[in-house]
Amino acid sequence: MSILNIHDLHVQVESDAGVREILRGVDLTIESGQTHAIMGPNGSGKSTLAYTIAGHPKYTVTQGSITLDGVDVVSMTVDERARAGLFLAMQYPVEVPGVSVSNFLRTSVTAIRGEAPKLRDWLKELKAAMAALSVDPKFAERNVNEGFSGGERKRHEILQLDLLRPRFAVLDETDSGLDVDALKVVAEGVNRVREATDIGVLLITHTTRLLREIPAEFVHVFVDGRIVADGGPELADEIEASGYERFLGAPATS
């Protein structure tokens, strides 16, 4: 069993307006096989947590720790975190002109597995993964995210998840911009990986739409850069019914 532990995490970001603290003491532990959801209003710092776990250089950890099986994550580079088993599906995946999806994925898989898969085996594996996500085979020859629709970008993220099989996956607003059919396909891809592995998943969202497709055993409410409430699926139902008002101004959970 693997454990991703976040303790007393404080993070700041520098912008044109100056340095601002966004995360103000986050405590969260995720174990293999668990699915956690972080819910909160827009601007509460949810995406900052996702990018900090992944190692985005824009965000500076000023206090606290992130460890994976007791090993310090904060000191790792982005690629070291990926090789250690951390994965981020971004809310707004970026374009990579001049690099085909097939080459991008094979290079990523080679880096994670330590050796390049044989071409014949790779093409078979890629074709099967794309078919499972209802992706046109021609997709493999397109440049990464260039001209992709929102749904295509999200399917590409889940295609990476399926092929890389990380230990922990952070899905940042994966439902953003998806219609009902695309959301179901993407959710089925995530659930397929969950069923086939003991992956730990952190879902970041501000609505229950995603949680209806990818059930989470643990729900945490995020307000003003802190977790202020913890619970099970019933907490998400309460938020759906009543919103976040009662959590505003609440103290952080310990």
Could you read off the pLDDT of 173-216 as tens digits, one per residue?
A: 888 878 888 889 889 999 999 999 999 999 998 888 899 999 99
Could you read off the pLDDT of 214-243 as tens digits, one per residue?
A: 999 999 999 999 999 999 999 999 999 999
Alpha carbon distance 190, 171 (integer Å): 10
**Domain 3-247: which CATH number of 3.30.499.10, 3.40.50.1000, 3.40.50.300, 3.40.50.2300:** 3.40.50.300
The residue written with tokens 């919103």 in the block is 243
CB 79 within 8 A of CB 31: no
Question: Which of helix, strand or coil describes residue 3?
Answer: strand
Q: How many residues does the chain have?
A: 254
